[in-house]
Structure 1
Amino acid sequence: MRVNLAIRLDHSSSTPLFEQLARHLELSIESGRLEPGQMLPSSREFARTLLLARGTVVRAYGQLIGKGLIEAIKGKGLIVNAPPPLDYSTQSAQMHELMLVDDLSANEILGSAQQPLPVEDVTKAAVPQALLPVKRWRELIIKNCKQLGRTDEIDDLGALDLRQQVCRFLRATRGLNCSPEQISVYTNTDQALDTIARLLIKPNDTAVIEEPGYIGVSKIFAAAGARVIANGIDYGGMMVENLDALATSPKVLYVTPVSQDPTGIVMSEERQDSIIQWAKRNDCLIVEDGWDTDFCHGRPAVPCMQQKAAEQIIYLYSFWKLLFPLSNACFLVVPQRLVPALRRLRAMINRPPISIELSALKDLLAAGEIDNLVAKLQKSYRKRRQALIYSLSMAFEKQIQIAPMSGGTHVLVSFQFAAEKQRVLDAGAECGLKLISLDEYYFDGRVTNQYIVFFTNVSPATVGAQAQLFKERLLGADYMAQRALL
């Protein structure tokens, strides 16, 4: 598909026109406005459109070819390549066991409980209030309050009508192979993960998780008595070859294949097949977390891994990134053979929630309004993401590297200069940018100088000024003064 580019160049700038053009195209590739496989205009056609000398366009294209961002294909023309990946420093990572549970006495535990824990900003990736369906949600809450006397069919897995709607949604949007009988309802993700741990893990069993990854799952599995092993990822996803080195086969393998949390890496088809086959050979169940799969940028949507091996995979999905704080509901889809055991477990503990909130969620799903919300957020987030990437790139120039793949609500950046972590976080907060250090997703204490920058709260109209102020706060007045003299 040939692209239509609208580019404005500053003819009064001291920066040569070919460099300006090359930079505009490079930013378009990095932000996803130009996607891999798209065709660029010929140098003659592009020069005529921009009222430039053909040699200017040829030099700009030459820079991009040299960086590997575009490629000349004989008989076709110039094709956009995928931008080079950010180095996640995990390609040679070895597995290591996590020591998460200390041998503390009851008095020590009670004593430590007196110390206040740091308050985490849980709104970093939340939907902006202006985009939430607050008015419609209020209407549904009121409607369901007036129907408190009705009797829904509720069993040990949750309300049947809600599970039917969730089943329809997941089959249509994720390609899941499931029925309502396989779905169970939870108030949040951690409750669902706790149920998985109680269902599958016995003391001294082994559980393997991704690194970098969600530290909460490691704590939940460890609390169930598991030996938790962190396994590194590369650009194809979790590294299968490391699994063969385990002394004992794990009971659980936890992965985020469609959009790895937090790197955004998409697990390759070949890697998915290898992990599924490894799990089957070793009698291991896979937990596929669909946490960061609602939005994709610069690539087509990827089907879930569960559809390939429904009897080998437990699928987890949360509505947090679509509806928080209106709803934090989470759902598990378990293999058919595990349904009886799950019913027995939930009859004893973690009884399914029954609430007006879940009834409102069911109504939104039934009316197709969740599908409409996803489409609206995807459009808004694409603009916010592109604006953030462009603004950071223009402000920091060659001093920042931005990963081409990213999560649905954040980008991953790496600074090309040494920066103390707290200084980066404080500078971001002062400028209204929400950041988390990638260090928080590693279990071995490594320092990465890489950061997650969220864009859900970014305004395209103001993010340029925010990015420039971020650079000034981060690099200091002396550096900015020296730059002004150049």
Structure 2
Amino acid sequence: MNASFNYPFWNTIALAPDGPEPLYDQIAGQIRALVVDGAIPRGMHLPPSRKLADELGVSRSTIVLAYNRLKNEGYAHGRTGAGTYIEKDLPEDMHRRIGEPSPAPQPPPQPRVLAARGCALMGLPLPSERELGYDLSPLLPALDELPFADISRSTAEYWGSEPWPQFNFSERLGLPALRQQIAKYLGEYEGVPCRPEQIAVVASTTQAFILLAQLLLDPGDGVVIEDPGYPTRTAAMVANGARILPQRVDLEGLCIDRFGPETHDARMVIASPTNQFPYGSTMSMERRLSLLAWARARNAWVIEYDYSSPIGINRQPLASLLSLDADQRVIFIGNINRIFSPSLGLTYLVLPPDLVELFYRAKLVFSCYLPPPLQQMVADIMGRGVLAKHVRRMRLIYRERATILVDALRQALSDRLLIPDVTAGLHLTAHALGPLDDAAVTNAARQRGIDAPALSRYRLQDRTATGFVFGFGNTVPERITPAVRRFAEIMAAA
């Protein structure tokens, strides 16, 4: 197979065969102008003379003459056996044409004018990027334990089936096969009652929160959020004009008895009743029922974010808010990214029936789609039982890693940190027993290959309560204890 012609400038060259200039002069002049304008980068390898000749419909000798002229003028040079290259230093860099005026001084740029929502967003803390090379990262599952053979099989079968209909526009709410599998999984595994028609598939959790803010809130509406909590949820609401109402979380999650007077007219509450991030807390049944009653009294929406409940280690899950909801005011958000990989991006919402058409229209407008091949792959591995098998297998692996992490932390840092047990999820939050600059320790730890985010970066109000969020999902057992020891050394030096 012939190599494709992949140079961006050839189709801008216009030749006049009957013009006053020879063709090679026309070609050289137009290439020179493109170089001076920056359309052809300095140092670029020009296409082989034979290939450019074929593209322009001229003889090869014409291109050779054009290249030679560029070389003679100082715009190109040849490399033996390698072709012709544009010079990195152009004649225009060497001297200024005689009589050419100096460029006039430019006025200082005007300050950017941002919307109030943009200014508010710039003032929020956001999570740092999580690279795969860090030990103890709380945001990653065990990527090396993924069922790659099953994923490869499902993907190959999809592409081998000539799925041409799915190269049309994606299904607005998600592929039917995937929505059916999600509804089955939620009903059988998590006790979340729903029908496939209520499922909407989007490309990320943040995208789900953006849609909720756009469709269910007006600018200035109050939204109760957990404090501490994951920053991107807050940012999604702020960026869409919501008024954030942070409320303190303890080891049983949100407690409406502690809600301040500012929450009286709130239009929405976002809660993670199971394995809240970063505390890992689980709301008691009493608090779940109280939260629903509070929302009912205010006609407020309840967003139940299921952070990572499938990854239970030592506990039995309680009934979801959605299963307890008699008023159809709960919207459930879940994903399988914590089971597989954050790069998957697949997130789903369980909607009240009367909101399905609204979200159908919104996805059409905002193009919140996930590629059909990815949706079909996930549907296939769910339908074959691969996902359930993977969850069962990973529970044992994560239980071992959690035990190693807790033992190592208690042995090395019990005098400085309160280390809890792990009952679910892939992380634990250790609270500092005394004053501590947790952000400085986190930054120093990242320099030594450890990602243990500071608890203070997840707080919006009381940042004096400090600590760290440790993960074990993507750290193999033999690396956990040495990483904890390095972290203890860093804390000792802080």
Q: Distance in 1 between matches of 2:174 and 2:482?
A: 48
For residue 194 of structure 2, the aligned residue among 174, 178, 184 is 178
For residue 360 of structure 1, the aligned residue among 377, 402, 407 is 377
Residue 438 of structure 2 corresponds to residue 421 of structure 1 = yes
C-alpha contact (below 8 Å) 1:263/1:412 kept by paired residues: yes
C-alpha contact (below 8 Å) 1:215/1:443 kept by paired residues: no
Q: Which amino acid aligns with 2:291?
A: I
Deviation at 1:441, TM superposition (A): 1.1
For residue 403 of structure 1, the aligned residue among 399, 420, 430 is 420
Aligned to 2:348: 331
Computing the radius of gyration over CA atoms, which structure comes out larger, 1 or 2? 2
Q: CA 1:350–1:384 in 2, change beyond 3 Å: closer, same or farther?
A: same
Could you say what secondary structure the match of 2:478 adopts?
coil
C-alpha contact (below 8 Å) 1:263/1:405 kept by paired residues: no
Aligned to 1:27: none
Deviation at 1:351, TM superposition (A): 4.4
Residue 147 of structure 2 corresponds to residue 138 of structure 1 = no
Q: Which amino acid aligns with 2:282?
A: V
Deviation at 1:210, TM superposition (A): 0.8
Deviates more, 1:401-410 or 1:361-370: 401-410
Q: Mind listing any 5+ residue stretches in structure 2 that lack a counterpart?
A: 1-110
C-alpha contact (below 8 Å) 1:265/1:405 kept by paired residues: no
Aligned to 1:315: 332
Deviates more, 1:203-212 or 1:154-163: 154-163
Aligned to 2:140: 126
Could you say what secondary structure the match of 1:306 adopts?
helix
How does the TM-score come out when normalised to structure 2? Answer: 0.69
Aligned to 1:448: 465
Q: Which amino acid aligns with 2:465?
A: T
Aligned to 2:245: 229
For residue 471 of structure 1, the aligned residue among 473, 482, 488 is 488
Aligned to 1:159: 175
Equivalence map 1:34-45=2 (5 Å): none
Q: Distance in 2 between matches of 1:107 and 1:267?
A: 37
C-alpha contact (below 8 Å) 1:256/1:289 kept by paired residues: yes
How does the TM-score come out when normalised to structure 1? Answer: 0.70
Q: CA 1:367–1:247 in 2, change beyond 3 Å: closer, same or farther?
A: closer
Deviation at 1:260, TM superposition (A): 1.4
Q: Distance in 1 between matches of 2:442 and 2:467?
A: 11
Aligned to 2:364: 347
CA deviation profile, 1:181-232 (whole Å, cap 9, x unmatched): 1000111111111111111011121111111111211121122221111111
C-alpha contact (below 8 Å) 2:172/2:360 kept by paired residues: yes
C-alpha contact (below 8 Å) 2:334/2:349 kept by paired residues: yes
Aligned to 1:43: none
Deviation at 1:408, TM superposition (A): 0.7
Aligned to 2:256: 240
Residue 329 of structure 2 corresponds to residue 306 of structure 1 = no
Deviation at 1:178, TM superposition (A): 0.5
Q: Distance in 2 between matches of 1:432 and 1:351?
A: 35
For residue 299 of structure 2, the aligned residue among 258, 271, 283 is 283
Q: Mind listing any 5+ residue stretches in structure 1 that lack a counterpart?
A: 1-102, 478-486
C-alpha contact (below 8 Å) 1:406/1:412 kept by paired residues: no
Q: CA 1:127–1:244 in 2, change beyond 3 Å: closer, same or farther?
A: closer
Could you say what secondary structure the match of 1:435 adopts?
coil
Q: CA 1:351–1:119 in 2, change beyond 3 Å: closer, same or farther?
A: closer
Q: CA 1:442–1:178 in 2, change beyond 3 Å: closer, same or farther?
A: same
C-alpha contact (below 8 Å) 1:423/1:474 kept by paired residues: no
Deviates more, 1:405-414 or 1:445-454: 405-414
Q: Distance in 1 between matches of 2:432 and 2:354?
A: 48
Q: Which amino acid aligns with 2:393?
A: K
Deviates more, 1:363-372 or 1:221-230: 221-230
Residue 113 of structure 2 corresponds to residue 105 of structure 1 = yes
Q: Distance in 2 between matches of 1:150 and 1:423?
A: 53
C-alpha contact (below 8 Å) 1:306/1:313 kept by paired residues: yes
Q: CA 1:418–1:228 in 2, change beyond 3 Å: closer, same or farther?
A: closer
* Number of aligned residue pairs: 371
Q: Which amino acid aligns with 1:288?
A: E
Q: Distance in 2 between matches of 1:146 and 1:419?
A: 57
Q: Distance in 2 between matches of 1:106 and 1:186?
A: 28
Q: Distance in 1 between matches of 2:174 and 2:428?
A: 36
Equivalence map 1:47-126=2 (5 Å): 105-106=113-114, 120-121=129-130, 123=132, 124=137, 125-126=139-140
Residue 219 of structure 2 corresponds to residue 203 of structure 1 = yes
C-alpha contact (below 8 Å) 1:154/1:160 kept by paired residues: no
Could you say what secondary structure the match of 1:320 adopts?
coil
Q: Which amino acid aligns with 2:273?
A: P
Aligned to 1:214: 230
Q: CA 1:307–1:147 in 2, change beyond 3 Å: closer, same or farther?
A: same
Q: Pairwise CA RMSD of aligned residues?
A: 2.9
Deviation at 1:400, TM superposition (A): 2.8
Could you say what secondary structure the match of 1:257 adopts?
coil
For residue 191 of structure 1, the aligned residue among 207, 216, 220 is 207
Q: Which amino acid aligns with 2:316?
A: P
C-alpha contact (below 8 Å) 1:261/1:292 kept by paired residues: no
Aligned to 2:81: none
